[in-house]
Amino acid sequence: MRIIPTSVHGIMDYLIAVLLIASPWLFGFYRGGVESYLPMGIGALILVQALMTRNETGAVRVLPMPAHLMSDLAIGLLLTLSPWLFFFHDYVWEPHFMIGLLITGHAILTRMTPAPSVANRH
C-alpha cells in the first residue's frame, strides 16, 4: 500500500540528504574511511536525484518518479547492508542500518505518480 504522497517524499529526500551528509559528525563516527564517505556520497546522490525528479519538489524534473523510487530502493538496501559489505560493522553500523531502512521503507511506501498538475509538466 503506497501511502506517502510524492510531495512528502520529496521533502523527506532533502531532509535525509542533509542528515546523511552530516551523519559522520552528527553521530560521531567520522574517521575518514568508507564508513564516513559512503553516507556523505549517498546524501549527495539523494540531493541531486531529488532536484532532478519529476515531482512537486524537483527543480529540473527530468527523472520519472518510478525510476527515482527504484533508485531509492537500491540506495536504501546498499546503505542498510554497507557495514557488513564493507567490513566496518565492528566500528559503527547503527546509523547506516537505521537510515538505510528508512530510505528503503520510504521508497516502498511512496506513490508512483505525483499530483496531476506536476505529472503533466516537463
What residue has cell string 531502512? 101
Report pTM.
0.93
pLDDT band at 118 (very low <50, low <70, confident <90, very high): low
CA dihedral 109, 89, 25, 72 (to 10 degrees): -20
Tell whether the torsion through CA atoms of 60, 11, 31 and 83 is positive or negative: negative
pLDDT in tens, 21-40: 999 999 999 999 999 999 99
Give the DSSP letter of residue 61.
-
- Residue 18 clears pLDDT 70, i.e. is over it: yes
First to last CA, the chain: 27
Q: What pLDDT does 9 receive?
A: 98
pLDDT grade for 55, boundaries at 50, 70 and 90: very high
pLDDT category, 115, cuts 50, 70, 90? confident
d(CA 55, CA 103): 17
